[in-house]
Amino acid sequence: MTSVEEARELLGKAEVRLQKAEDELKAFQSAELEGQWLNDLRRKFRAGTITNKEDRERHRLEKEEKRLKDAVETAGKEKFVWAQAFDDVRRKNDQQTQEILPFMVSSSADSAQVKRRKLDDDYKRTVRAGQSVGGPSSGAKPKEFREKQQKDPTVYNGRPFERTGPPIALYNEIFGRFIQELNDENLVMTADHYKWTEDFMFTASELYDSEDDRLEAVHDKLATLLGPIQTTTYGKKKILAQTGALYYQGYWSQDRTSAVRERCCCPSFILAMAGPWLCVLGGVYTNVVIVEPLTDFVSLLVKPRDGDQLGRIARIFEALQRALDRLDEFYGALDMTSLSDEQRFFPYHRSYKDASNVNHTFTYHSPLTDDCKKPLWRAQTEDGGILV
């Protein structure tokens, strides 16, 4: 066992097996025809009133109960063993890291400065690329978009896979809360919200004389829930997924948005619609543009046999409405009198608590790798300590 990741994975599997065994035992003991029946048979056995048939059933149930208890005990021991193994591997790994860290820090100091300059250069290149786009519709054509992504990538939206960026939830907590609420089946929603969702599905599913008529109807309905929405059609009926990323880049690369762009990562939500299909994406502007789909393309066509459809779609819009309210608060609280914030290139988490529950803040210096898919950074604490 040499890998912390391997030990963590095996410990996780042991925990799953223990939980499954405990659940099976609990289900047996609480079942009306199993656990309760066994207790009744035991009382009859102690009172001497049990029949031969009932006694055989008592033996069978007690044997099953013992099997389940043994399974819980075995799984518990297995979890204990893997927990110890995980602690041992992690402790050895920490010791090795402490031994080599001084050499890593001294040899990488110059490299960190080079990487920091590269961040600035990439940022300027991304701005120039966004300002040079004549229109996202032309840049979103498959051939042009593929060539741009291969030769001079500034957009990381997973097309192709090598152009996948870190999770955008690392850069602003609003995205993480949106995903959490999106998956919360107990999210509280009003009857009016369900009614709005149903009406919106009907609006999106309707047949219109033209695409412009459809978009106008859909946008008007969205505005009643979400407020004014920046929209674009690019003169095309089919809006490709990458179009939203290019539009986001073009919008935030404008000179008139530079003051905001230099003080935060420009968190934004993007709604992509293709006929009666909807996808919610999120975008951040660091040294490159990172756009991530936060939902699948969801069908708004009414499915009578899908009883959960209305609830799922209603939850998307409830989570989105709450996220946009938080986004308004975020931009409203942005200090526009401060200087350009260099930390906007990095995750929003900039503090941690040690074993003594003492809070420590740190400042990011540079990424540890040029691979955008690997979210690793070099940072320094307020007392000069180096974090990797």
**By three-state DSSP, how is residue 190 classified?**
coil
Q: How far apart (Å, rounded) are the C-alpha atoms in residues 322 and 264?
A: 20
CA end-to-end span of the chain? 23
- pLDDT for the residue 19: 77
Q: Which of 342, 344, 347 is nearest to 377 (CA)?
A: 347
Considering the domain architecture, whether residues 99 and 175 belong to the same structural domain is answered as no
Same domain, 140 and 92: no
pLDDT per position as a tens digit, 152-166? 667 898 887 888 899
pLDDT(51) > 60: yes
- Three-state secondary-structure class, residue 268: strand
Between 130 and 327, whose confidence is greater?
327
| Structural domain contains residue 338 | no
294 shares its domain with 179: yes
Regarding whether 287 and 181 lie in a shared domain, the answer is yes
278 pLDDT band, cuts 50/70/90, is very high
Decide which of 105, 120, 145 is a domain's last residue.
105
Evaluate whether residue 269 is within a structural domain.
Answer: yes
Query: How many domains are there within the chain?
Result: 3
Residue 273, domain member (yes or no): yes
381 and 280 fall within a common domain: no
120 found inside a domain? no
Which residue, of 53, 87, 105, is where some domain finishes? 105
Using the 3D structure, point to which of 88, 105, 122 is the last residue of a domain.
Answer: 105
**Same domain membership, residue 210 and residue 316:** yes
pLDDT band at 233 (very low <50, low <70, confident <90, very high): very low
Whether residue 64 lies inside any domain: the answer is: yes
Q: Which of 8-12, 215-219, 243-247 has the lowest mean pLDDT?
A: 8-12
pLDDT category at 73 given cuts 50, 70, 90 is confident
Question: pLDDT of 237-259, one tens digit each?
Answer: 333 445 678 888 888 999 999 99
Same domain, 206 and 325: yes
Q: Is residue 357 one of the residues assigned to a domain?
A: yes
Domain ranges, residue 175: 133-332
Q: What is the pLDDT of residue 30?
A: 64
Q: With DSSP H G I counted as helix, E B as strand and the rest as coil, what are the percentages for the chain, rounded to 5? A: 60, 10, 30
